[in-house]
Amino acid sequence: MSQHSEAEDLFFEEIDPATKQIYAWIDESLSRGQDNVINRASSASQCERKLWYKKNGEPGEQMDARAIINFALGDLTEAVVVAFLKAACVGPDKLYSEVQFGESAGECKVQGRTFEIFKQKTLITKIVGMEIPGHADGFGKRNSDGKWELIEIKSAADFGFRDFLEKGPGDYINQSHCLMMSEDALALGIRTVRFLYLKKNTGHIASRSYEFDTDVASEVANKFIAANQEQIPERPYSPIAETFRSKPTGKIKLPWQCSYCPYTTTCWTNTEMELKSGKPVYYIKNKTEEIA
């Protein structure tokens, strides 16, 4: 069990035997073995320093059982949204005249409804001699202008859903640009990505589209170049002053992106972890020290 899992378990007074056994089985049977493959489209949304550590075989914390459960639920959620999108948004006077989600991989029944499951096609993006594979949720041909766009489906909790509405898809925009630069997307002339977010606990769906941005494309290319070089990249994130009810606490903490990274204590050695509402937060031990 990872340090994050053990720390989070302390937040609960008791974890029942059934839950412990489920977590243990997932840890033993389904946990992803550590590899050093970083050239994937999904990596475009990650910290280049994290990718560098992974590529160079730096030991990191294993993904915990709860994270694996959440990823599995996310995959199921996205498959359901794909089915509803195909049923509701394709045809005359609809958003799309046709869609592509990959090869049919069978069906599943949920509450009396039959959902078709798709195996996503592997896309290849070439960046400075590197081949970056990735998988798009789908492509849709718009009825409005006959142009194709990338379709990306995400599931989110309250905060992530609200953040999408107010600020956009965050780092997921990098992943979408990597996919829009793939050979298949270029062949379709794709210059737009449509994100559909599902709020997991309420069923709300929100959709926003974004045009291809050359600055984001350059950022993606530079990230893969930096992560694959011999020298360790600079950190893209910096410590921040903690506030509580809009007042400073006097503590300096790492941003949330660092809290769930498997290399937090490798990247930031001068830190200590505390639990805040069951979530790990890393603080700089001596805020007067130079952060290096």
Query: Is 157 or 30 the better-scoring residue by pLDDT?
Result: 157
Distance, in Å, from the CA atom of 230 to the CA atom of 52, rounded to the nearest integer, reads: 9
What's the pLDDT tens digit per position in 149-169? 999 999 998 989 999 999 999
Which of 104, 170, 97, 179 has the alpha carbon at shortest distance from 135?
Answer: 179
What's the pLDDT tens digit per position in 218-248? 999 999 999 999 999 999 999 999 998 889 9
Query: Is 116 or 180 the better-scoring residue by pLDDT?
Result: 180
Q: Show the DSSP H helices in the chain as ranges.
A: 3-9, 17-29, 48-55, 65-88, 158-167, 172-180, 183-187, 214-227, 256-259, 264-267
What's the pLDDT tens digit per position in 257-273? 898 888 999 999 999 98
130: its two tokens: 């590197």
Question: Which amino acid makes up residue 167?
Answer: K
- The DSSP secondary-structure symbol of 290 reads -
Per-residue pLDDT band at 12 (split at 50, 70, 90) = low
The predicted pLDDT at position 292 comes to: 42
Residue 132's beta-bridge partner residues? Answer: 125
Q: 66-227: what fold?
A: Lambda Exonuclease; Chain A (3.90.320)
The predicted pLDDT at position 161 comes to: 95
The predicted pLDDT at position 7 comes to: 53
Question: Which amino acid makes up residue 292?
Answer: A
Residue 6 CB: number of other CB atoms within 10 A? 10
Which range, of 65-69, 94-98, 172-176, averages the lowest pLDDT?
65-69
User: Could you state, in order of their start, the residue ranges of all structural domains in the chain?
Assistant: 1-30, 66-227, 237-292
Which of 5, 37, 38 has the alpha carbon at shortest distance from 23?
Answer: 5
Per-residue pLDDT band at 280 (split at 50, 70, 90) = confident
* Mean per-residue pLDDT over the chain, rounded: 89
> Full-prediction pTM beyond 0.85?
yes
Q: Are 24 and 288 in contact (CB under 8 A)?
A: no
